[in-house]
Amino acid sequence: MEERRKFLKSLGATTVGATAAGVAGSLAVDANGEAAATTPAAPVKIDPRLRDAFPDVEVTAHTGEKFRFYDDLIRDKVVMINFMSTRNEQGFPVTAKMADIAAQLGDRLGKDVFIISISRDPAYDTPRRLAAFAQKHGVGKGWYLVTGTYAAAGALETRMYRHKHESGALTSALCTGRDRKVDIVFYGNGGAGVWGTFPVDIRPDDAATRITWVMPGKMPTGAPRRAGPRRLNAAERLSHNRDA
Amino acid sequence: MISRRNALKVGLTAAGTGMTTKLANAAGGPVPQSGLIFPQTFTPSIVERPSPPATPFVAPLNVMPIAQPVNPASLVPGPDPLRHQRYDEFLPQKHYVQRIGEFRWQYHPEPPYDQGTWSWGFNGITPGETYHAYYGEPVFLRRINELPPVGAGNAAFPLPSVTIHLHNAHTASESDGIPQDYFNPGEFWDHHYANFAAGFDPREIMGTLWYHDHRLDFTAPNVYAGLSGFYLLFDEKDSNNERDRNPEAFRLPSGKYDVPLILHDVQFDENGQVIWDFFNPAPDAGTMTPTALYTTNGMVGDRFTVNRIIQPHFKVERRKYRFRILNGGPSRLYDLSLRADSSRPRKAVRKGEKFFVISTDGNLLEEPLVKKRIEVWVAQRHDVIIDFSHFAPGDHVYLVNHLEMRDDGAGTTGRELDEGNLVMRFDVVESKRKDPSRIPDEMRELPTIDMREVRKERLFVFDYDNGLWTVNGKLMDPNRVDAAIEQDSAEIWTFRNAGNSWVHPIHTHFEEFQILEVNGKAVKKGDVLRARKDVVSLGPNMDVKFFGRWRDFLGKHVMHCHNVVHEDHAMMIRWDIVPPGEGD
Ligand SMILES: [Cu+2]
């Protein structure tokens, strides 16, 4: 506690938007998420009132295209976001699972919904390596494997779901996600500002259904329609009681 | 109980913020940080961006109206008996409709709150109407989703697709409001509440239930947006009549003297709109600069609301009241006491500064317990009787939250009531009539625990992994049955918290259980845990073992952490009641 207080004092003020990634000491980032070998770290700006608090860092896709993470990939889009690493696919086959979900989505992928897979091992996962990896997993239209700096990856990962700061101190285990046993897919609608998560190991058809939950809906007309419960049937084994 | 006390200490981050928790400050400024679920290294954003000020005790308490039945002929299409287990056996005698929609709700009369806060609720209000239901009088309730679709509403963070769970009701799966049973804008769902005691055992009769959203992946934002309310059950003993001539009746304070209080802590932006704020600055013990980030820890607001009013006042007569105190979450925990500003001698006043706890988790105890403090974790309920006849007209009595004294070496000074957050204020006035209500000596006997009924013992380990919340190492999957329980069997479950800093209020649906042991020690008489429970307060490194029965219906249910942010990320299991012989 004492240590922290001193630390805060040394900062002068703990401005809300101020943030950091690249806190491992050797890496720092500027507002564009570019890494530089300086100490101490300059923060990646995350303003919680803007862009659904996504850091608008620059990332490079397996296609070689460069994107602003929020402006180009999130704003006004329905997306699924996950973290991966090519070196850890064997240990935690998250990309294979995303490929199953992509297959369920069919041609809605790239039209109604996009997948963004962020490498948490950006130094190793160069765009070239990601391209080869993408080919192996049949990554097609509407799915981007992206890489950038440690800082950018760390800022994104921190934004999504980590409350601890391992993402700042990128050890090799964390880069590759070697110790990972559970994980989530972050999904939402950048236009509406609604965000949720689902565990990555749910059934692909379930995952493909969940992404429809955050798609823009139509204002209903006419009399309300019954959603359930459906008629009882002891033989069926569905996971819910809704009308089919 | 040692570990439990430590658990509560975990929340005392105020030390790092330079904030005081003295009464005066608590009343006017932002709420101090006691009672949080965060570890000490974590500074939630309520410290960084407090809600706009709101003068405490200006707004009167909102007392929700009692739900009124509708003519069943007005339901089009009508109820379909083939969709509900045991419908013909428990034919609905009262029918209700709830329209779930978006509206502006005034949390406080001062600007910016006076403009109204975009909220979600039932029939135009939040919390929704209070239901008065009776054992032997089954209820049919149609809920219609009239929320604007995704992207069309004013409250952006919740999902306009809902499922409404009736918390601790003995209800068939299809009417329970499980996370998977959602209905979207323009759709409705029919709920059949049979209102009978589990196993037809009168000792299983319950009293204070509540309903709230339980949407898969979105429970936390949806409840936070306003989707909660009370459902009270009465019977011939707890008869909703303090003048009841039936000698069996408890004659608890009733009518306008029976007041449900739901506590939600909410955070607002500069326009008085609710913030769903996962983006908490989180400096970490000097190793890095502060960072704005999404957390899965929990959502904590800096405005205490009671029945969705910021720090209200409530005029009370000098007599007994029954308050049904519910922590509606999303994540904050409370330790509540009473403190009076009174002109009367301190000794006399002290007699009034206590709770007669008559029920926990909504179920009347064997006998009332007199407590100075009550700990209320998320989703837990305490029915308490407060006797205001100990105070004088003009006195103010505060409901104070203070989780734990700071462990700063000063020890207990007897001045601990000076600390805390003022949740609401009772303003005492003279009573015109004699108080006919009673505090009974004895209430409901506990159901017998018969170990010969036990078919299976299960262990559930709750932990943190990779920023997520696990049960037995896994996250929620509605297509996976984590426990197949045979109907009419009993089981012994152990909840184990493998984490050393996190606390989890763990709730299991459908039927109440009785705690056998906490950390290997039996629950003693006089402990509020000696009760029929549906939420376990699971502190760090804690083991809680209980006995439960699963009767009367078949189907899918869930058990989960009721820190609803943990639930959404995804500390929940599905369990099924299956026919005998088909269990796991
Ligand atoms: Cu929890």
Domain membership flag for residue A93: yes
Between chains, do B283 and A14 touch, taking CB under 8 Å as contact? Answer: yes
Answer yes or no: is A228 within a domain: no
Residues of A in contact with B49 (CB under 8 A): 16
Instruction: Domains for chain B: give ranges and CATH numbers.
Output: 72-235 (2.60.40.420), 266-429 (2.60.40.420), 451-578 (2.60.40.420)
Is the preceding peptide bond at A21 cis, omega within 30 degrees of 0?
Answer: no
Instruction: List Cβ neighbours of B82 (8 Å cut-off, separation of 6 or more).
Output: A231, A232
B71: which 2 tokens?
């003519």
User: For each successive 10 residues of chain B (584 residues), what is the average pLDDT?
Assistant: 32 28 33 45 60 95 98 97 98 98 98 97 98 98 97 92 97 98 98 98 97 97 97 98 97 98 93 75 34 62 93 98 96 89 90 96 96 93 97 96 41 42 95 96 96 97 87 97 98 93 90 96 91 93 96 97 93 97 96
Rg (CA), chain B: 23
Q: Which residues pair with B279 in a beta bridge?
A: B294
Residue ranges with CB less than 5 Å from ion ligand 1: B 504, 561, 563, 566
Is A206 a member of any domain? yes
CB contact under 8 A, A201 and B185: no
All residues of chain A having their beta carbon less than 8 Å from the beta carbon of residue B571 are none
Q: Which residues in chain B touch residue A223, judged by CB atoms under 8 angstroms apart?
A: 76
Pairwise CA distance, residues A189 & B539, whole Å: 36
Q: State how far residue A239 is from chain B, nearest Cα, in angstroms.
A: 5
Measured between alpha carbons, how far apart are the two ends of chain A, in Å? 55
Q: Considering chain A, what percentage of its residues have pLDDT values greater than 70?
A: 72
Q: What residues of chain B lie within 8 A of the CB of A203, using their CB? A: 477, 479
Inter-CA distances, B41 with A19, B12, B139, B222, B282, Å: 16, 10, 48, 28, 7
Instruction: Evaluate whether residue A3 is within a structural domain.
Output: no
Please judge whether A182 and B40 are an interchain contact, meaning their C-beta atoms are less than 8 angstroms apart.
Answer: no
- Helix H segments across B13-164? 23-28, 45-48
How many domains does chain A fold into? 1
Q: Which two structure tokens, joined as six digits, stand for B235?
A: 């019977």
Quote the tokens at residue B405.
């004294």
Given this model, what pLDDT does residue B408 score? 22
A10 located within any domain = no
Task: Count the helix, strand and coil residues of chain A and give each as a percent rounded to the nearest 5.
Answer: 30, 20, 50
Contact A88, A176 (CB under 8 A): yes
Give distance in angstroms: CA of B539 to centre of ligand 1.
10
CATH number, residue A106: 3.40.30.10
Which of B160, B287, B478 lies closest to A23 in CB terms?
B287
Nearest to A193 among B85, B156, B287 (CB): B156
Q: Which of B278, B279, B285 sits opposite A3 (nearest CB)?
A: B285
For residue B219, report the distance from its CA to the centre of ligand 1, in Å: 13
**Is A182 close to B291, i.e. CB distance below 8 A?**
no
Is B157 an interface residue toward A (CB < 8 Å)? yes
Nearest in space to B216 (alpha carbons), one of B179, B262, B245, B252: B179
B189 touches chain A (CB under 8 A): yes
As beta bridge partners, residue B555 has B577
Closest residue of chain A to B40, computed from CA coordinates: A1
Residue A47: closest C-alpha in chain B: B292
- Please check whether residue A232 lies inside any domain of the structure: no
Residue of A nearest to B151 (CA): A192
Q: Pick B287's closest partner by Cβ from A11, A17, A165.
A: A165
Residue A107 distance to chain B (closest CA, Å): 22
Threshold 0.90, pTM exceeds: no
Residue A8 lies in a domain: no
Smallest Cβ distance to A48: which of B40, B279, B476? Answer: B279
Ligand 1 mean position to B563 CA, how many Å? 5
Q: Is the pLDDT of residue A228 over 80?
A: yes
Q: Range of A179's domain?
A: 15-216
Give yes or no for B357 touching A (CB within 8 A): no
Q: Which residue in A has a C-alpha nearest to residue B470's C-alpha?
A: A182
> CB neighbours of A90 closer than 8 A, spacing ≥ 6?
none
- From chain B, the residues in CB contact with A6 under 8 A are 286
Given CB atoms, is B81 within the 8 Å cutoff of chain A? no
The answer to whether B144 faces chain A, any CB pair under 8 Å, is yes
Under the banding of pLDDT at 50, 70 and 90, the label for residue A129 is: very high
A124 CA to chain B: closest CA distance, Å? 21
pLDDT, average across residues A165-180: 51
Q: Do B477 and A47 touch (CB under 8 A)?
A: no
Question: Which residue in B148, B158, B286 is closest to A3 by CB distance?
Answer: B286
Kind of pairing, strands B131-134 and B228-234?
A: parallel
Any domain includes A229: no
Cβ-Cβ pairs closer than 8 A, A with B, add up to: 257
